[in-house]
Amino acid sequence: MTTPTALRRYAPFASASLQSMLQYRSTLLIGAVTATTAVGLQVFLWRAVYAGRSDGLPGGYDLPELTTYVLLAQLLALSQANRVDEEVAGEVQRGDIATSLLRPVNYPLARFAAGLPVSLVNATLVGLPVLLLYAFLLPLAAPTWTGLLLFLPSAALSLVIGFGVNLLVGLAGFVTTNIWGVRIVKDSVVAFFAGQVVPIALMPGPLAAVAHVMPFQGLVDGPLRLLLGHYTGPAQAAGILIVQAAWAAALAAAAALAWRKAVRRVEVLGG
């Protein structure tokens, strides 16, 4: 299949998802409020910590850097919230998945096409205002060109990792009907080990070790370390990107495999 045909085939999924996203503007507001509150809490907490320490924190984050980290962590999480998990699980539960099976498209790819506009809308319409608000209120660390240049591919990879995780969670709908519980567990565990709550460098040794062997570090901690220059030498920077790419590929493969297994299990009632 050549690229233009693929584009033509999957573009409708993207535009339909974009339209429904813009239809429900109140969810955008909710996203903005959640991110603003979460950032506010974290920032106030860590400001108090810095006030009580004269020698800075381990991991080498100074206050503007940590503020930037906490803020951008929420924004990355916002753009990774692509709704793929709830939509796939919902289709499985309602039985609509049968219709999707009839379409001559690759289902995971169609889901990716539908998830991408959600990410972009969240990042621009929700993330950008929150970023501007805090940039106005608090001193942030100015990014370097190198940082930005490394951050962009890393953020793109984080979208793929986030998509893979969400698709796998959504496909869990084939195994359990209580997908709501699975999603709650995912939300807190992933957020924590991604470094969305606290940079991995500030975690106690054993927790940091666990975080480093999980794919989730590539969602937040990896991209932000690259942006803020928290690595020793180009080799380590490349290492972060390579590990991310490897996890992205592994998760995509796992999702494709899970999808193939899941389709064999499909049972749809009525007709």
Partner 1 sequence: MRPIATVARYTALAWHLSAVSLHRLTEYRMDFVLGAGGLLLRVGGQLAVVGMVFRQVPVIAGWNFHQVLFLLGFSLLPRGVDRLFTDQLWIMARRLVQSGEFYRYLIRPVHPLFALLSERFLYPDGFGELITGAAITWYAADQLDLDPGIGDLLLLPLLVLCGALILAAIKTAFAALSFWTTNSFPALYAANQLGDFSGYPLDLYHPSLRWLLTWLLPYAFTAYAPASYLLFGRTDLLLWLPVVTAALVALALLVWHRGVDRYEMTGS
Q: Which of 7, 33, 132, 246 binds partner 1 (CB under 8 A)?
A: 33
CA distances from 111 to 85, 87, 93, 120, 206 (A): 10, 9, 16, 15, 36
Query: Which amino acid is residue 262, in one-letter code?
Result: A
Binding flag, residue 37, partner 1 (CB under 8 A):
yes
Count CB-CB contacts under 10 A for residue 204. Answer: 7
* Interface segment toward partner 1; rule CB under 8 A; list 100-108, 139-147, 154-162, 179-187: 179-187
Q: Which of 49, 132, 152, 268 binds partner 1 (CB under 8 A)?
A: 49
* Interface segment toward partner 1; rule CB under 8 A; list 22-30, 70-78, 90-98, 120-128: 22-30
Binding flag, residue 44, partner 1 (CB under 8 A):
yes
Q: Check if the beta carbon of residue 226 is closer than 8 Å to that of residue 237.
A: yes
Q: What is the 3-state secondary structure (H, E, C) of 8-49?
A: HHHHHHHHHHHHHHHHCHHHHHHHHHHHHHHHHHHHHHHHHH
Least Cβ distance, residue 105 to partner 1 (angstroms): 33
How big is the chain, counted in residues?
A: 271
Binding flag, residue 205, partner 1 (CB under 8 A):
no
Q: Which of 11, 132, 189, 250 binds partner 1 (CB under 8 A)?
A: 189
Q: Which residue lies nearer to partner 1 by CB, 43 or 113?
A: 43
3-state secondary structure (DSSP) of residue 1: coil
DSSP letter at 219 equals T
Q: Which residue lies nearer to partner 1 by CB, 128 or 189?
A: 189
Binding flag, residue 175, partner 1 (CB under 8 A):
no
Q: Which of 3, 26, 206, 267 binds partner 1 (CB under 8 A)?
A: 26
Q: Which residue lies nearer to partner 1 by CB, 144 or 176?
A: 176
Closest to 237 in 3D by CA, of 219, 224, 250, 252: 224
* Interface segment toward partner 1; rule CB under 8 A; list 1-9, 32-40, 146-154, 257-265: 32-40
Binding flag, residue 209, partner 1 (CB under 8 A):
no
Binding flag, residue 216, partner 1 (CB under 8 A):
no
Q: Which residue lies nearer to partner 1 by CB, 149 or 180?
A: 180
Burial bucket for residue 161 (CB in 10 Å: 0-12, 13-18, 19+): buried
Binding flag, residue 198, partner 1 (CB under 8 A):
yes
Task: Dig out the tokens for 139 from the structure.
Answer: 């001193």
Separation of alpha carbons 14 and 18, rounded Å? 6
Separation of alpha carbons 44 and 67, rounded Å? 9
Interacting residue ranges for partner 1, rule: CB under 8 A? 26, 29-30, 33-34, 37-38, 40-42, 44-49, 51-53, 57-58, 178, 180-181, 184-185, 188-189, 191-192, 197-198, 202-204, 207
